[in-house]
Structure 1
């Protein structure tokens, strides 16, 4: 039973990615509002009307009723939260300035002068390590965008008529872009609560931006975050999700309309339709989303065999519940233990030592579930450093067939169906880039280039997004994280190498100007136990602790209303990314057990999929 009804305008599912309820792209009319009146009304209404929560072991699609006493906590289209107060130039919404009163340096200038375009491969981790992190990022947040128009469309000049445009200026001496007469990079600010102007919640002080999915780790990238999205994605037969077929294998439904989220260049091209437009963004991201789509349908079919009396709704909800549980287990016990370090995870009570069927009852109903601005729009983006710009296509014996450039396949997913397993093997075999201050040229100069000879700069966009969201500065977070507050440039030498401090001096007017996403990205890694320095680690711990303990439906919960049985929980704990890969590839038969780690014949050998532990679904037999 749906807990409450939204009244939204839906467009036929198969026609357009842009027709989905998420409606990131807003009406581009001649009024001054960056948000359509319909979208405003719908978002305001969903945050005004409290649903009547029904007891259920299944989480709602929009995140409501996760907390029964605060039924709107964590729902879709919530505001980003903050660890520290916002920093805006006018205290409300304009970009912050230097403490000298001058404008901060161009993000493109910072990107080019602070970071190095150099390929340094990580000796320990595969591309899957980086790519799974992006899956989690997309599942947790997505800033509501104001328009799909470009604000640098006319001869690469800033078009001030485009609403919410704050284009990134390109320095006149930019060695790559200036010779091509590129003067700015496209950047549209995210929609905030002042843009919505909800009658019952007048905004006072600094604005807060809107994030479209639920705040929980609930695979909203697959299932959606509204009833309307969910309805469009389900087949309503045997618990299955809608798919298209290629040579008998399932893929997301196709759409043949081009958009900024998918480039259609020929009659053979198509977009994938999903609850998250970013599904088409890059080949490996798309592949993992296909794995989770197939996993849902695999689970539904197996459950139907075990329980032939279950109807479509029961099969769908149980498959979704198991799929999310497996995903949460891999996120915290396999991926985050690398990202944050095992001991940090244990010390901060994000994971626990347990017996196979032991519950972990650490749910805190008094703590509000949040996605912190500082995490989603600054700190977590540092890991774009791990992106590898050239993807290898591999045979089953792990021989390289060919390589493709990432910039040739942004938002062009057709290659997925042509080389699904070859790309998938590369995902779990090829080394990612090292987590450091080096970035691949493919993302610094050719991001989303399509038919142009150049593209955007992902690092510059990350820095500009932090300014858009008013993220407090690096030095403030050092103090928040109980580290030494710098009083001069030299004080940064305790965490940042001298060469990088010298670069910062050349770019920023004052040591107080250094932004969180910049300063944090240059810190020395903490004792080789994590993939970040201490300031960013502090933010990650705060975020991922909150994400776990505020989710009443967390897979380890022993709450009788939502809990798996003990035998079922023990099976969920057999989950792994390697198993997801084996079960949902086309014809792959071998993989290393720790798929985020580079294979090693002694410590992490490639083995037959039959040796990878399997979740026994017979424990769900009724």
Structure 2
């Protein structure tokens, strides 16, 4: 019966899909509403353009063999999670539709208008709905259980019940100033060559890199105060709070040009132009660059449009939660969280590498290949050009060894804490142990960042001015990461990256068997860790070698501006130019606008600029390129400013970073210092802990600096791990009053429970494993007579066997073929003589061609289906959606 029901649903969907062109046409014929019908046809065409480009990208990815180019590696590292990809696709369809309507309006009126000036509220609502954006603009349904007040949702949603999308994953970055787009809606700064700013065109970003930013690898000034770990922590924590995925397509939406090859601005291609004298021998005129994915419901941080009579300018998405919540360890989506957990463990552990160990300690597991694998292969394996990457809470864990090292360190710390907490509280379920360990690890991320890291970046005076002491949760503070923070201010750390990866022996000297590596030799190379002595040599190098000092005329080395992500001699990429181009792509206002935002004086003359940038030669070069101070890109202006006292940034970035950190802290209901999150005793213990203690507990190092961010000499500046303080987990031992009559019931079969308290009452919240449905009460309360209800049951939900799914899939293909035939007849009847749309086929030349036939609507694409699964899983975090064992998880 279930199989029959599924087949029936599939048949209905296929027939609906086949008859959609007829319905659109019939709407105009029967009801006489040409405006709405015109919108529907534009939406159909926009879907065709976006899906054709995505299909072309998929085909090219599948055909690629051999070592990836730097641009392809960058694209791989910016791949969105499935839910992010669905939202990005819907947003691109919506924006493409609005742009098409703008062109139509301009043709009719013979004048340029803002894209939404002539669109009614009803039409914008239709666009939002039919593009697939509307579900991601509505506020999510927040669970109402005590568990939701005890542990944060993996998506970050519902942290603030009045604004449930604030800080959640897959929502728009915050705008602190209105964006600057050349068409007022979407086109980046620098998109149109003839567009002038204060009478001058913007300089090509590659020219800015060559003349102001780039220096040779040999020109490095060491930081006298801080270790390389300060740089690594900044990059790691950035990956905890911000990830802006690139466009879902790497081909132009109009025409299908490969963004890897074209040097024309065709959305989403926004290539970095190269001057003739700076082009490589092959004569390449540009470097590939893909625009960031758009966000649904742009404007007010992904909330409802509010007034649907206006559609806000293009906004970019944050694929992660904005909160400092250790999403680098646990992920920001239910689907990734399930991949990361070890479901065979009663201790709530995370998965580790199945076979490789580091002197008995765990490594990160390998990720399932993402069609195909992208990292460097294991050395010495003949015929291999690519290898798997590590699986972690953030997909960039394999980018550089320092990132891999910190991801590995915190994987081990979670498993260490979970095992210890289970020993203290044997009655805790695996879920309870996992959530408590996750909460502690998140708190340690917050403590190390706000107590130890940020004050060193801002300096004590700016930290006091912009961050200050914690005064409690502020429900009016929006913690959403801002566009300018993610795209400009927090990228200051790129100027502190040393061109060498240093690995040291047990005496903290250069390792005789592991010499230093140039950075380009270690990009996306898990085997640098696995076959390079393990974690300890890397951690020693981060602790005992200084960071690169950010100097105004030594901003970034050639490893980042000429050899970024280079695994072969095929091509190059330039991180500095990418940063500048990304700021323009995101429509960030110029340097002076942000200075004014922070209450700093605008710089109007060369003399003004020289007060902010002490190096006269650098100031002159910048002004010579930009011609006017207002034209300076905010990332470059902030990067070149004089440091504040005892800081590693100038006044502008100190302001922007400080404001963001205060918002992340004060707007987080689960911030570790908030009184309901931990007990007084637990907070006291957490304050004792440090990054040095985490290193001691999870590596083979026996001596470390008391302050891991302070560079020191071995052995005089290093202490025994026995003297490094840490928290006592006894504060987490759970005891119950003597008159308690409830205790803990036995675990339910095929399910689990987590204990929490609300208004002084003990409660249990139950969940079932994936494939089982909860029958009975989800939440039980302890009363004077015992539990108020019997525990629920977890019944088989009737999940069909794999063989049945295969049969259904084959039947669906047959129905799809019949639907395609029907659609062909209808299209010829209703649209004779017009350009056909779907589906996509390939000619012998590999160019996607279009013909009238079956297609998938925005609501039924494979990515959409994956996203709907993910949304259901999100809602099921508290109601149950778990894997009974690691062995039963697909792909594990």
Q: TM-score range by the shorter chain?
A: 0.7 to 0.9
Question: Does structure 1 residue 54 correspond to structure 2 residue 155?
Answer: no
Structure-2 separation of matches of 1:606 and 1:260: 44
Aligned partner of residue 516 in structure 2, secondary structure: strand
Q: Is the contact made by 1:262 and 1:412 (CA closer than 8 Å) also made in structure 2? A: no
Q: Map of 1:69-88 to 2, 5 A cutoff?
A: 69-88=162-181
Aligned partner of residue 503 in structure 2, secondary structure: strand
Deviates more, 1:385-394 or 1:93-102: 93-102
Question: Does structure 1 residue 536 correspond to structure 2 residue 653?
Answer: yes
Q: Map of 1:418-457 to 2, 5 A cutoff?
A: 418=531, 419=533, 420-437=535-552, 438=554, 439-452=556-569, 454-457=571-574
Q: Map of 1:388-407 to 2, 5 A cutoff?
A: 388-401=498-511, 402-407=515-520
Q: Is the contact made by 2:139 and 2:164 (CA closer than 8 Å) also made in structure 1? A: no
Deviates more, 1:106-115 or 1:415-424: 415-424
Give the match for residue 489 of structure 2: 379
Query: C-alpha offsets along residues 359-378 of structure 1, whole Å, 9 cap, x if unaligned?
Result: x5421012222211111101
Correspondent of 1:242 among 314, 331, 351: 351
Aligned partner of residue 271 in structure 1, secondary structure: coil
Give the match for residue 263 of structure 1: 375
Correspondent of 2:529 among 406, 416, 425: 416
Structure-2 separation of matches of 1:371 and 1:620: 32
Structure-1 separation of matches of 2:263 and 2:321: 33
Give the match for residue 237 of structure 2: 136
Alpha-carbon offset, residue 447 of structure 1: 0.3
The structure-2 alpha-carbon separation of the partners of 1:61 and 1:38, relative to structure 1 and needing over 3 Å to count, comes to farther
Structure-2 separation of matches of 1:39 and 1:576: 50
Give the match for residue 157 of structure 2: 64
Structure-1 separation of matches of 2:475 and 2:139: 21
Give the match for residue 620 of structure 1: 732
Query: C-alpha offsets along residues 344-370 of structure 1, whole Å, 9 cap, x if unaligned?
Result: 3234444x3xxxxxxx54210122222
Structure-2 separation of matches of 1:43 and 1:445: 42
Correspondent of 1:220 among 327, 340, 350: 327
Structure-2 separation of matches of 1:119 and 1:249: 35
Aligned partner of residue 76 in structure 1, secondary structure: coil
Alpha-carbon offset, residue 86 of structure 1: 0.9
Question: Does structure 1 residue 158 correspond to structure 2 residue 274?
Answer: no
Structure-1 separation of matches of 2:174 and 2:447: 25
Structure-2 separation of matches of 1:216 and 1:46: 20
Structure-1 separation of matches of 2:232 and 2:222: 15
Q: Is the contact made by 1:481 and 1:535 (CA closer than 8 Å) also made in structure 2? A: yes
The structure-2 alpha-carbon separation of the partners of 1:302 and 1:168, relative to structure 1 and needing over 3 Å to count, comes to same
Correspondent of 2:721 among 599, 609, 619: 609
The structure-2 alpha-carbon separation of the partners of 1:195 and 1:444, relative to structure 1 and needing over 3 Å to count, comes to farther
Correspondent of 2:473 among 337, 358, 363: 363
Q: Is the contact made by 1:26 and 1:34 (CA closer than 8 Å) also made in structure 2? A: no
Q: Is the contact made by 2:137 and 2:304 (CA closer than 8 Å) also made in structure 1? A: no
Question: Does structure 1 residue 336 correspond to structure 2 residue 454?
Answer: yes
Alpha-carbon offset, residue 51 of structure 1: 2.1
Structure-2 separation of matches of 1:377 and 1:293: 28
Aligned partner of residue 428 in structure 1, secondary structure: helix
Alpha-carbon offset, residue 335 of structure 1: 0.8
Give the match for residue 115 of structure 1: 213
Structure 1 gap ranges (5+): 1-15, 353-359
Q: Map of 1:178-197 to 2, 5 A cutoff?
A: 178-193=280-295
Aligned partner of residue 400 in structure 1, secondary structure: coil
Give the match for residue 702 of structure 2: 589
Query: C-alpha offsets along residues 50-90 of structure 1, whole Å, 9 cap, x if unaligned?
Result: 32443321111111221123222221111111221111111
Alpha-carbon offset, residue 554 of structure 1: 0.5
Q: Is the contact made by 1:34 and 1:191 (CA closer than 8 Å) also made in structure 2? A: no
Q: Is the contact made by 2:297 and 2:303 (CA closer than 8 Å) also made in structure 1? A: no
Structure-2 separation of matches of 1:451 and 1:43: 44
RMSD: 3.1
Aligned partner of residue 178 in structure 1, secondary structure: coil
Deviates more, 1:587-596 or 1:156-165: 156-165
Q: Map of 1:494-505 to 2, 5 A cutoff?
A: 494-497=611-614, 498-505=616-623
Give the match for residue 29 of structure 2: none
Aligned partner of residue 280 in structure 1, secondary structure: coil
* Higher-Rg member (1/2): 2
Q: Is the contact made by 1:157 and 1:182 (CA closer than 8 Å) also made in structure 2? A: no
Q: Is the contact made by 2:88 and 2:296 (CA closer than 8 Å) also made in structure 1? A: no
Q: Is the contact made by 1:156 and 1:184 (CA closer than 8 Å) also made in structure 2? A: no
Structure-2 separation of matches of 1:556 and 1:456: 43
Aligned partner of residue 94 in structure 1, secondary structure: coil
Question: Does structure 1 residue 580 correspond to structure 2 residue 671?
Answer: no
Aligned partner of residue 239 in structure 2, secondary structure: helix
Alpha-carbon offset, residue 22 of structure 1: 5.2
Structure-2 separation of matches of 1:317 and 1:155: 43
The structure-2 alpha-carbon separation of the partners of 1:489 and 1:256, relative to structure 1 and needing over 3 Å to count, comes to same
Structure-2 separation of matches of 1:579 and 1:592: 10
Alpha-carbon offset, residue 150 of structure 1: 7.9
Deviates more, 1:432-441 or 1:324-333: 432-441
Alpha-carbon offset, residue 324 of structure 1: 0.6
Correspondent of 2:271 among 134, 152, 167: 167
TM-score by length of 2: 0.62
Q: Is the contact made by 2:329 and 2:394 (CA closer than 8 Å) also made in structure 1? A: yes
Query: C-alpha offsets along residues 424-479 of structure 1, whole Å, 9 cap, x if unaligned?
Result: 21111121110223212110100011112542111110001100111111111222
The structure-2 alpha-carbon separation of the partners of 1:27 and 1:369, relative to structure 1 and needing over 3 Å to count, comes to closer
Q: Is the contact made by 1:21 and 1:229 (CA closer than 8 Å) also made in structure 2? A: no
Q: Is the contact made by 1:474 and 1:514 (CA closer than 8 Å) also made in structure 2? A: yes
Query: C-alpha offsets along residues 168-196 of structure 1, whole Å, 9 cap, x if unaligned?
Result: 1112112xx43343321121111123699
Alpha-carbon offset, residue 308 of structure 1: 1.2
Alpha-carbon offset, residue 486 of structure 1: 2.4
Structure 2 gap ranges (5+): 1-75, 97-127, 191-195, 735-892
The structure-2 alpha-carbon separation of the partners of 1:344 and 1:510, relative to structure 1 and needing over 3 Å to count, comes to closer
Structure-2 separation of matches of 1:157 and 1:371: 33
Alpha-carbon offset, residue 166 of structure 1: 0.4
* Larger helix proportion of the pair: 2
